[in-house]
Structure 1
Amino acid sequence: MSAAAMPRPWAIGRLGGSLWIEGAVGSAASETFPADRRIVCDMKLYGDAELDAETERNATLIVECVNGRES
């Protein structure tokens, strides 16, 4: 089964105790999300430097893979 490619580029957002992966501009309704971006994955940070750094590295790998993928 082949899924259609998601619009790119994806990005990582971080604020307080949350880290999230955002889809590309235009991938969500602007009345739903600011800047018309879709939240693809939302992760909680726990304040543990090692665990949070690993979570951020994993999110970065996901974003790099998606953004580097051919359509």
Structure 2
Amino acid sequence: MLTFNKTYFRLASLIFTVEILIALYVHDKIIRPYFGDVLVIVLIYCFIKSFFKNKSASSCFFCFAFFIRNRNASVL
């Protein structure tokens, strides 16, 4: 079901801003590659929840599957 949730959208916008700041100003070997990846998963989850009213478990599964696919693609 398609709905709009302001709280999740604001949280997704805030996390996206943090991601941009990390990409522009943090150049280390811990925060950018690992913490940035974790934030992307939370960002995707919040973005999905801001537009779709579905079960949290299905959103979590989709985000985890997306993360695993991208992580495996980056290794190749």
Tell me the TM-score range normalised by the shorter chain.
Answer: 0.3 to 0.5
Q: TM-score under structure 1 normalisation?
A: 0.37
Q: Could you say which structure has the higher strand fraction?
A: 1
**Per chain length, whose mean CA-contact separation is higher, i.e. which structure has more relative contact order (CA < 8 Å, sep 6+)?**
2
